[in-house]
Structure 1
């Protein structure tokens, strides 16, 4: 049901939202559906006049990381220029192949119909909108992890506009977690230390965290009195994301696991676990 609602939101509601063009120009604007609807109703690449989209930033340039319960608010910024000045800027995120044909599997759409714009100078403005990634609504399954398209549009004060259905891409990732435990503690010098842990990530199908298997995770150690961790070995996560390896006790210090991340899952570092060597 959530997938169906998402597709409808993009193919239907978005076609009737975004910017309001001046009534005198609305009937002449290509793709316009009436005085209160903008050219963005077409939702496809189109440029009329000399409006230029200079830059689009999603979430401050960072990946969008979503867990299993909390909503994630994401700011989309559109910087555009037009000789007459910028009337509005708008953006949203979508996943799929083509909006016009309805080939869309996910969308994050602003509640606001217009962006909040701040003038940089007489011709350029940066307009911001906010979308929400909600694992209980529009982030409805693991299929949505990975790259999303960024739809961006800008409207000049003279009615010119620039629409880019696939301006750029943004990464939406399943939140990850990592634990570590070194034992026994204390331990005699030269004896075996067992370091275990678990790598998990959000499962958007079940709204629970689950083990991330078959992943390379680095074990690092920081000797007491020093400031830097050093790589010890690489461990592969097993069933349920389990991590387990052994090392020889050499000195007091702290162990931790470090996961570099993948295209669908962010990097994560465990908390440190100190070991006392006698």
Structure 2
């Protein structure tokens, strides 16, 4: 079938090289086949560390009056499947999704993918990814969509804090240092995230809520340093709101005893 040949061409190219995908049709359809309820990674952003592979599950529903025959999804980064600069084909031996029949007209399909730092993940492809999908029915109807779902693939982040001296006299100066870093998929290490706004927050020993004291930016090494006046026993932490390529993260609170 023509649609299977198209899928084979796209899948084969992505499997061989995430940087070279041949021209393929984008949206196309015939009949009443539909793809819906697409969920990537349980609806959460895909956060990947510096070295470990990340398994990603995609589920979707296929409906057609004759019932689903087969389906396939492909993950990719770029403006379209034809212009993608990275991607992932499902881990199944034939690249197709595993579909379970719900009733005569509906099936739930599942595919698992592997994202690998240093392979199909390089730093420049962090951010928005898309799901290309196709589904064929038993009566030969089909639907093919260039983007049935967008989702985030992000470089894992870390944030530290240290408040000193400990203990300190009330009214004296406390110096709060820390570092914001994120996974570098090309080196397999974590590196400082520079020029990012980070909040210094404080909560009293008797409270469960942090309040923002001030906002500062990381330096050229991702480091943080600022000062505050000691007022009461409590915990200091840094808090980063995240970006499209890097998830939000809070440092564990560092307790300061004020005498």
Q: TM-score range by the shorter chain?
A: 0.7 to 0.9
Paired positions, count: 243
State how far apart, in whole Å, the 2-side matches of 1:181 and 1:212 are.
Answer: 18
Give the equivalent residue in structure 2 for 1:188: 169
Partner SS for 1:79: strand
Show CA shifts across 1:96-149 (max 9, x none).
Answer: 34444xx3310111121221223333311210000011103211x211111112
Q: Select which of 221, 245, 259 maps to 1:264.
A: 245
Give the equivalent residue in structure 2 for 1:110: 90
State whether structure 2 residue 114 is matched by structure 1 residue 136: no
Preserved CA contact (<8 Å) 1:178 1:268 = yes
State how far apart, in whole Å, the 1-side matches of 2:78 and 2:159 are.
Answer: 31
Unaligned runs of 5+ in 1: 1-8, 17-40
Q: Select which of 55, 78, 83 maps to 2:65.
A: 83
TM-aligned CA deviation for residue 12 of structure 1: 5.9
State whether structure 2 residue 129 is matched by structure 1 residue 148: yes
Partner SS for 1:70: coil
TM-aligned CA deviation for residue 73 of structure 1: 0.3
TM-aligned CA deviation for residue 15 of structure 1: 9.1
Partner SS for 2:85: strand
State how far apart, in whole Å, the 2-side matches of 1:184 and 1:167 are.
Answer: 54
TM-aligned CA deviation for residue 10 of structure 1: 6.8
Preserved CA contact (<8 Å) 1:94 1:148 = yes
For residues 149 and 51 of structure 1, do their structure 2 counterparts lie closer, same or farther at Cα, with a shift above 3 Å needed? same
Show CA shifts across 1:184-233 (max 9, x none).
Answer: 00111111111110001111232221111111111111101211111111
State how far apart, in whole Å, the 2-side matches of 1:245 and 1:146 are.
Answer: 30
For residues 10 and 267 of structure 1, do their structure 2 counterparts lie closer, same or farther at Cα, with a shift above 3 Å needed? farther
Per the normalisation by structure 2, the TM-score is 0.87
Q: CA RMSD in A?
A: 2.1
